[in-house]
A and B are shown apart, each in its own frame.
Chain A
Amino acid sequence: MCSANILLIEDNVADVELTKRTFREVGIDLKLNVAFDADAGLSFLNSIDDLENHGPSLILLDLNLPKKNGLELLQELKANTKFAYIPVIILSCSQNPEDIREAYKSLASAYLHKSIDRKEYIETVREFKNYWLDTVALSNKQPLGDC
């Protein structure tokens, strides 16, 4: 199993459970913190004493959130030097080209489609693992290589 420290910001409880289950299925041993809206995500990050060493290696962010939406939160995170270094990966049901363009323009590190098709979603999570957990370097974690 790979280990990972990820903050998932997602308002839909069923989607959270689906993501957790899929991560287990592809062999990701998660330290997953979940925030159910943008402000809860920011509060969580602000509550960590030594964010750079003990904070999340990655943020997975849904776009369709109540109150402040995911795009607004992404822009807020990237404008704040305290949080900007954490790669934010959008995990969204939307395949609207405008959402994708805006996310990349706002410095999302990747945009992944949260498919309702089970097989497709498993494949997306597998691609996520192969790249973000096994291949690239993150600031508080090295690629895990053989996991």
Chain B
Amino acid sequence: MANILVIDDEEVDRFIFESSLKGSNLVDKILSFEDPILALDFLTEYHEKKAYLIKEERIDIIFLDINMPKLTGLELLEKLKSIYTFSQVPIITLSGSDNPADIKKSYSLGANGYIIKPVKIKDYTEMLTKVIKFWSGVSKTYVLS
């Protein structure tokens, strides 16, 4: 069971994201942030307090919307991947578009996947399930200490 953190300024998109995973037996907890700066503050504290050592508090996958005001998803991705703790956590960028520049920039900054948000909840559920299954499987060789 994975603990998921999602950062997306759009309330509707966060609702669809959370609804897509409602009842999923792959997910234990979903933490949701509207404001990327508050999310960065939370994650900085998480890193400093080594909260990942506590199983219940550990964040297994981060989903990050690209288009956000104040701090874009790509800026936040760059900040997070420069922190050792988050270099070891899968960060998946989310976007409504398949803009090649965003895709390239995401992978250049160390994204562990780029998802084009599906419109239908059913499709979103299917997509997120594949993402969580992949990272749950890979976590056999995925270590953080």
Please list the residues of chain A having a beta carbon within 8 angstroms of any beta carbon in chain B. 52, 78, 81, 84-87, 95, 97, 100-101, 104-105, 107, 109-113, 123-124, 127, 130-131, 134-140, 142-143
Question: When chains A and B are docked, how far (Å) is the Cα of A97 from the Cα of B131?
Answer: 22
* Closest A residue to B113 using CB positions: A136
Across the interface, do A85 and B107 meet the contact criterion of CB distance under 8 Å? yes
B137 and A127 within 8 A (CB): yes
Residues of chain A within 8 A (CB-CB) of B98 are 137, 142
Alpha-carbon distance between A127 and B138 when the two chains are bound, in angstroms: 9
Across the interface, name the chain A residue whose C-beta is closest to B88.
A104
The 8 Å CB contact of A131, one of B87, B108, B134, is B134
Taken residue by residue from 102 to 145, chain B's Cβ proximity to chain A (1 for < 8 Å, 0 otherwise) reads as 01110111111111100000000001001101100110111111
Question: Interface on chain B toward A: helix, strand, loop, or mixed SS?
Answer: helix
A135 (CB) vs chain B CBs: closest residue: B130
A97 proximity list for chain B (CB < 8 A): 143, 145
15 A-B Cβ contacts within 8 A?
Answer: A52-B100, A85-B103, A85-B107, A87-B107, A101-B144, A104-B142, A107-B87, A109-B112, A111-B141, A112-B141, A127-B138, A130-B130, A135-B113, A136-B114, A138-B103
A-B interface, 10 closest residue pairs, ranked by CB to CB distance from nearest:
A85-B104, A131-B134, A107-B110, A84-B108, A136-B113, A97-B143, A139-B103, A135-B130, A105-B87, A113-B141
Neighbouring B residues of A84 by C-beta, 8 Å: 107-108
Question: Which residues from B are CB-within-8-Å of A86?
Answer: 107
